[in-house]
């Protein structure tokens, strides 16, 4: 009988450990970031100087780089993912769908560093020529596509991130679309709509909040992605309007500087970047979870009107 008292307590402790861990992460990071927090205050988020000599640290270029690469990744990956998810759920004959599903899920299992090495040796040369050549020659009047064409830079980082979040967004969107009750589709088809119209007007709107959740989930992954980005982004601390320019993300900056930072304030500033990154990803993940949860919790087939 004593087991019945002990066992739930033990499992409770394990569950508590998860919450404690989360709190400990926030606490520990805040403690170490304190000198930087006190020294720079809110100016840390808007400062554009990162100078270890004068000990002046501002994180804006890293924040900017993180946002630009992540948005670029979404811009590329979201249409592809939704298209692929529609194909998997609505169009593909079951065996084909299974195979493609399987492949896409494998894509999700490939480690980040492998994307990095592939990006460095295969993608970057391709981005330099033809991609940057074509974009620069034909759209060079836009500030986005100006500047020297080195291959490494924000554009390459955005593309590699897109490939990396593709499986996650596809798989989640697929699950969301599967949840759309068939009655919705049948009703639409019965009205004489084509298959595309059914998807566009009934399926996607029905799953809208879930799909948005899937996209934000992808965003969360892109924001924190480190190794592949570090290997292709060029690690230069500056804000440039051009996608060709080398840049820096919060994660890549930590990866290349954290073990090497020499002064306490420098370390503290890097930890504060980590804290900002943590804050942003927590926010994004919480949003995504709420949206996806709500969408997939509603039991499929039951009318929600």
Partner 1 sequence: MSTYATRKATNWIMLGLCGLCAITATVALIAILSYTIAKGAPAINLQFLTSLPQPVGETGGGISNAILGTLLLVGLACVIGIPVGLLAGIYLSEFGGHRFGSVVRFTADVLFGVPSIVIGMFVYALVVIRMGSFSALSGGIALAFIMMPIIARTAEESLRLVPTTIREAGLALGIPLWRTILSIVLPGALTGVVTGIMLGMARVAGETAPLLFTAFGNRLGFQGLDNPVAALPLQIYRYAISPYSDWQSQAWGAALVLIALVLITSVVVRILTRKRR
Partner 2 sequence: MTNTRKRIFIGILLLPLLAAILVAFACSSGSPSGTLPGVTTSGQTTTPSGARINLTGAGATFPYPLYSKMFSEYSKISNVDVNYQSIGSGGGIRQITEKTVDFGASDGIMTDAQSAAAPAKLLHIPMTSGAVAVVYNLPGLSTGLKLTADILADIYLKKLTKWNDSRITALNPGVNIPANDIAVVHRSDGSGTTFIFTNYLSKVSQEWKDKVGNATSVKWPGDIGGQGNEGVAGQVKQIAGAIGYVELAYATQNNIPFASLKNKSGNFVAPSIEATTATAQGVELPDDMKVMLTDSANPAAYPISGFTWILAYQVQTDQVKGKALVDLLWWSIHDGQKYGPPLLYASLSADAVKKTEALIKSITYQGQPLLDR
267 binds partner 2 per the rule CB under 8 A: yes
Segment contacting partner 1 by CB under 8 A, of 8-16, 136-144, 206-214, 237-245: 8-16
CB 170 within 8 A of CB 85: yes
Please tell me the distance from the alpha carbon of residue 296 to that of residue 206, in angstroms, as a whole number: 12
Question: Residue 131: which residues within 8 A CB-CB, separation 6 or more?
Answer: 155
Site for partner 2 in 167-226 (CB under 8 A): none
Q: What are residue 56's DSSP bridge partners? A: 51
Please tell me the distance from the alpha carbon of residue 147 to that of residue 154, in angstroms, as a whole number: 12
Site for partner 1 in 65-84 (CB under 8 A): 79-84
58 binds partner 2 per the rule CB under 8 A: no
DSSP 15-52: HHHHHHHHHHHHHHHHHHHHHHHHHHTTHHHH---EET
The structure tokens listed for 104 are 């896409």
14 binds partner 2 per the rule CB under 8 A: no
User: Residue from 214, 281, 291, 295 that binds partner 1 (CB under 8 A)?
Assistant: 281
Least distance in Å: CB of 174 to partner 1? Answer: 11
Please tell me the distance from the alpha carbon of residue 16 to that of residue 60, in angstroms, as a whole number: 36
Segment contacting partner 2 by CB under 8 A, of 18-26, 64-72, 202-210, 253-261: 253-261
CB 276 within 8 A of CB 29: no
Least distance in Å: CB of 56 to partner 1? Answer: 21
236 binds partner 2 per the rule CB under 8 A: yes
Binding site for partner 2 (CB under 8 A): 49-54, 120, 124-125, 148-152, 230, 234-237, 245-246, 248, 256-257, 259-264, 267
């Amino acid at each position: 009988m004593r087991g019945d008292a002990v066992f739930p307590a033990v499992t409770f402790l394990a569950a508590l450990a998860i919450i404690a861990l989360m709190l400990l992460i926030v606490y520990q990071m805040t403690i170490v970031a304190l000198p930087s927090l006190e020294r720079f205050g809110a100016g840390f988020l808007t400062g554009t100087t990162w100078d270890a000599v004068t000990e002046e640290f501002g994180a804006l270029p890293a924040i900017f780089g993180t946002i630009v690469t992540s948005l670029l990744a979404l811009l590329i990956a979201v249409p592809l993912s939704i298209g692929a998810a529609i194909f998997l759920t609505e169009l593909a004959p079951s065996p084909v769908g299974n195979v493609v599903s399987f492949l896409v899920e494998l894509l999700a299992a490939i480690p980040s560093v492998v994307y990095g090495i592939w990006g460095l040796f295969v993608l970057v040369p391709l981005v330099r020529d033809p991609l940057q050549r074509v974009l620069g020659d034909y759209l060079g009047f836009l500030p986005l596509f100006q500047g020297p064409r080195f291959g490494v830079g924000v554009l390459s980082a955005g593309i590699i991130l897109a490939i990396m979040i593709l499986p996650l967004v596809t798989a989640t969107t697929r699950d969301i679309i599967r949840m759309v009750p068939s009655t919705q589709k049948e009703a639409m088809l019965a009205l004489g709509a084509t298959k595309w119209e059914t998807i566009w007007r009934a399926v996607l709107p029905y799953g809208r909040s879930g799909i948005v959740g899937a996209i934000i989930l992808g965003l969360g992954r892109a924001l924190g992605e480190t190794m592949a980005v570090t290997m292709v982004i060029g690690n230069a601390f500056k804000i440039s309007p051009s996608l060709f320019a080398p840049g820096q993300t919060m994660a890549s900056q930590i990866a290349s500087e954290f073990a090497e930072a020499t002064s306490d304030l420098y370390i503290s500033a890097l930890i504060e970047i980590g804290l900002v990154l943590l804050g942003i990803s927590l926010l994004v993940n919480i949003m995504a979870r709420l949206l996806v949860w709500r969408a997939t919790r509603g039991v499929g087939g039951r009318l929600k009107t």
